[in-house]
Structure 1
Amino acid sequence: MAYKYGRDDGPVELEIGKICGRRWKIIDKLGEGGCGSVYKVQDIHTMAKAALKAESNFIAGGSVLKLEVQILKRLDGRRYVAQLLQAAKKTRYSYMVMTLFGQSLNTLLRRIHECSVSTQVRVGINILYGLKQLHEVGYVHRDIKPANLAVGRRGQETRVIHMLDFGLAREYVIRSEGTVKMRIPRTGTLFRGTTRYCSANAHKRSEQGRPDDLWSMLYVLAEMRGPLPWDRVRGKEEIGKVKEATSDMKLCRNSPKEILDIAIHLRSLNYYTRPDYLLIYNKLAAVMSKCHYRYSDPYDWEKTKYSSHRRHSRRGRRSSASTTSYSSVDSRNEESLTKEELKTAIFADETPPQSYIWDNDKELFTAADFEINEIGF
């Protein structure tokens, strides 16, 4: 694999057309940030596309790539999550190859003027499922936002919202001699996350746990129906104050009552408390049942067939101040994204998802997916 030498701690530059690991041909660069770069690659044997992340071995503060590889290994074989295809360490850099997804939720929501409750609750169930998978293997994400969620590229996967970019994740458990227990929360932690979507708890520099990921999910869902109360507020501290002062009723004012019920449940949790994933699922599923929504219904962005119209009345243009890893999206996919949003977006293929003929009797998720307590606490 050809490597362009430069600063040891800078982004890794790999030449287009070169083959990595005797299997993956680099066909395009999707983006870079900090010390890493993301490429679209193709399996020279099967022609399948994938994503390759490369990171310098000389970066300060530890390897983001190593953490992501570790998490993907834990998630191996689970439905609707990114799969690790290969990983290797070279003299000057390391790389991993993983699932290439379709366009980010951030991109898709920019293509519609308003978001329906149908799309909102189905996206919610998708995010909830992904978070439960991550939590059950002992990690919290700490950066849930539309740019870190993406649809699949083929078949049924185009109907699934996948969770990506584990660069800010943290293991909230300790594994020792065959036992697993929760870590004791630290005090005065560094800020981790994206200011717009992180929990109020994160603003206080408190240790983030499973409930904090779910608060981020709730903020994403609330924003799908209208601007967040802190939409025009600037500054990390000021946004934190508005979050603290915002009532659940105001946050969920444009959403079904069941979304408010989820917020009330989250209020009852602390760092150690296991969220009731089944309760949250049942709330979202109740909306689907009451309104006769189906998983086979088109999402709002599918109804527009990737039109050039942009959603501007509900969700303003803004930058999301965050502490991020280096995943990037092909900038050709994003319409008028700010520099900061481009830096924090996930990598994705530029090709719109293929159409998929859905079995109307098929359910993407059932209650059974949310009721099992795998980790034990």
Structure 2
Amino acid sequence: MPHRIMERATGAEMEQPKKRVAANGNILPDPISEGEVLIDLARNQWKLGRSIGIGGFGEVYLASSNAYEPVGSDADHVVKVEPHKNGPLFVEINCYLRVAKSDMINDWKKGRNLKHVGLSHYIGSGSHVYRGQKYRFLVLERYGLDLDKLLTQNGRFPVKTVCYLGIQILDALEYIHSRGYVHADIKAPNLLLGYHKGTENYVYLLDFGIASRYLDQNGVHKEYVYDQRKAHAGTLNYVSRDAHIGAFSRRGDLETLGYNMIQWLCGVLPWGDKEDPEYIHSQKNSFMSNIALLMRQCFTNSQPPTVLSQFLKYVASLNFETKPSYAYCRNLLKQGVEDSGYVDDGMLVFGDSPLTRIIENRRKRRAMDNPENTAALKRKKIDNSTLQQPCATNRIQNSPSLVFKLFKWFNGKNIVSGNSKKQVKKHATLNCNLPSTIQTKYEPVVLIEHLPNEMIQEFTASLPEVSERTKHWHQTADTSVFSNPTPAMLKILLKRRQKETTPTH
């Protein structure tokens, strides 16, 4: 009989649900039921909805400040929950309290005329006991997809998207650094797109679980010393050289960002398949002293973007305590967008072929520069019922080149070439057939007043040479009547010149 009881007890134990294990090997607590209400330090109530994600130390739930209604799938907030004994959420909450209060971020944005700084505002935090286990929680805004999911779907990102992500992350890092902290864990799973309408092209840097102060209580930069407790903290692929020895700096955050951008662009890092932290550290030391080799190693089948090499070279040139020039780095990445051939529109592009986007955006740019080319050509209708005046005076006066074309009719070379009589008759007829009100608008001497000097000189030079007798006549005759000759008078003058240049028999 006792033997049977023992067997039943063992069977019951075997039927108990297995403990959940995170990707990093940590044992996760049992999930909290939907509808549980948590109360933060400010006595605000937060009702939990369904779970939407599991991290390395805890779980994330949808949440609502309305404790009397079910939490819908469109909830605006989330609650991050971890066992109270876990350290990362404690570190994160303390960092949010010192860095991410709404008034702090808003003042920074206003002072620098920024529309967006990619940080979640601190909303609330506290402790909660559920089924005898104590939890710590943090309330945050809700966000959209993380970059890791998008990277898994697409394999890599276009240059334009990587540059825009880099610019926004630099804005966030500049703010964090100004508060005396470094993030130390920049990676695709910790970067989320906006959830609400109008924020689709914004990225937010979250998860401050291993954020560290790089300044001491007196505002002095901490020394570059080895700290075994913090060595290699973070995600090995992206950990900076400083963080590999447990030292944290602003240049370290920029270096981590650089490794991420390489990963996003080419899908691989030279040490990506290794697990030994010391080996990875030595690889980074080697490659960061030879950026050209790093680029060749990563971009084996394509040309690396120049901006990436320039960014990494700048990071490698920084001293441990040097404040980076965030503006310089942003300008590099902005230039990278332009060099890649994309329209600088601030749009984050995922999933499309970079070449397709370049061609499409160039087409759009040409269309914007030449809007008339976007419409179909239509045959112009000519109204023959009215007199056409393609060279009206008010139009000619604003177009010297058009006037000069008209003067070619009276160019001496054209008149005397071939059959001069026919040429003179032809041009005289063109003018004489016009109504008298229009003839005066096309009189050559009137038009010449509107011509540039060089055009007048060219016209004058084209006239044929005349005899000494004619020159004398021009000097002595009263030419006031010829200051504005009619076409008929011009015809007579041309005939006289022709006779004078014709040898007598």
**Normalising to structure 1: TM-score of the pair?**
0.70
Deviations 1:24-63 (Å, cap 9, x if unpaired)?
221112344565332121232797421212233334xxx3
Deviations 1:66-108 (Å, cap 9, x if unpaired)?
3212222322232331112111234633212111211111111
The SS at the match of 2:199 is helix
Deviation at 1:238, TM superposition (A): 2.3
Deviation at 1:167, TM superposition (A): 0.2
Alpha-carbon separation, structure 1, partners of 2:151 and 2:54: 23
The answer to whether residue 75 in structure 2 is matched with residue 37 in structure 1 is no
Deviation at 1:300, TM superposition (A): 2.2
Alpha-carbon separation, structure 2, partners of 1:110 and 1:10: 25
Aligned pair partner of 2:91 in 53, 59, 67:
67
Alpha-carbon separation, structure 2, partners of 1:284 and 1:232: 28
**Structure 1 unmatched ranges of 5 or more:** 1-5, 305-359, 361-377
Deviations 1:101-133 (Å, cap 9, x if unpaired)?
111111111222442211121111122112112
Larger C-alpha radius of gyration, 1 or 2?
A: 2
How do 1:44-193 and structure 2 match up within 5 A?
A: 44=66, 48-59=75-86, 63-73=87-97, 74-77=99-102, 78=105, 79-90=117-128, 92-175=134-217, 180-189=219-228, 190-191=230-231, 192-193=233-234
Partner of 2:454: none
Q: 1:11, 1:32 within 8 Å by CA — same for their partners in 2?
A: no
Range that drifts further, 38-47 or 15-24: 38-47
The answer to whether residue 293 in structure 2 is matched with residue 250 in structure 1 is yes
Distance 1:237 1:184, change over 3 A: closer
The amino acid that maps onto 1:199 is S
Alpha-carbon separation, structure 2, partners of 1:256 and 1:35: 37
How do 1:1-377 and structure 2 match up within 5 A?
A: 11=29, 13-21=31-39, 23-32=45-54, 36-44=58-66, 48-59=75-86, 63-73=87-97, 74-77=99-102, 78=105, 79-90=117-128, 92-175=134-217, 180-189=219-228, 190-191=230-231, 192-203=233-244, 205-226=245-266, 227-246=268-287, 247-253=290-296, 254=299, 255-290=304-339, 291-301=341-351, 303=352
Q: How many residues are paired up?
A: 291
Alpha-carbon separation, structure 2, partners of 1:33 and 1:279: 35
The amino acid that maps onto 1:188 is D
Deviations 1:291-314 (Å, cap 9, x if unpaired)?
34323435123x49xxxxxxxxxx
Alpha-carbon separation, structure 2, partners of 1:48 and 1:33: 20
Range that drifts further, 221-230 or 249-258: 249-258
**Structure 2 unmatched ranges of 5 or more:** 1-18, 20-26, 106-116, 354-367, 369-505
Greater per-residue helix proportion: 2
The amino acid that maps onto 1:220 is N
Alpha-carbon separation, structure 1, partners of 2:252 and 2:96: 21
Alpha-carbon separation, structure 1, partners of 2:200 and 2:76: 15
Q: 1:87, 1:96 within 8 Å by CA — same for their partners in 2?
A: yes
Alpha-carbon separation, structure 1, partners of 2:264 and 2:85: 40
The amino acid that maps onto 2:101 is D
Deviations 1:144-189 (Å, cap 9, x if unpaired)?
111111111112321011111000110112335xxx3323344233
Distance 1:258 1:88, change over 3 A: same
Partner of 1:335: none
The amino acid that maps onto 1:28 is R
Distance 1:120 1:70, change over 3 A: same
Q: 1:12, 1:93 within 8 Å by CA — same for their partners in 2?
A: no
Distance 1:35 1:116, change over 3 A: closer
The amino acid that maps onto 1:88 is G
Alpha-carbon separation, structure 2, partners of 1:145 and 1:113: 15
Alpha-carbon separation, structure 2, partners of 1:95 and 1:292: 43
Alpha-carbon separation, structure 2, partners of 1:154 and 1:50: 11
Alpha-carbon separation, structure 2, partners of 1:35 and 1:199: 23
Q: 1:222, 1:251 within 8 Å by CA — same for their partners in 2?
A: no
Range that drifts further, 235-244 or 130-139: 235-244
Range that drifts further, 71-80 or 152-161: 71-80
Distance 1:103 1:202, change over 3 A: same
The SS at the match of 1:96 is strand
Greater per-residue strand proportion: 1
The SS at the match of 1:238 is helix
The amino acid that maps onto 2:65 is D
Alpha-carbon separation, structure 2, partners of 1:162 and 1:96: 16
The amino acid that maps onto 2:48 is I
Q: Which has the higher contact order (CA 8 A, sep 6+)?
A: 1
Deviation at 1:135, TM superposition (A): 1.1
Alpha-carbon separation, structure 1, partners of 2:318 and 2:94: 28
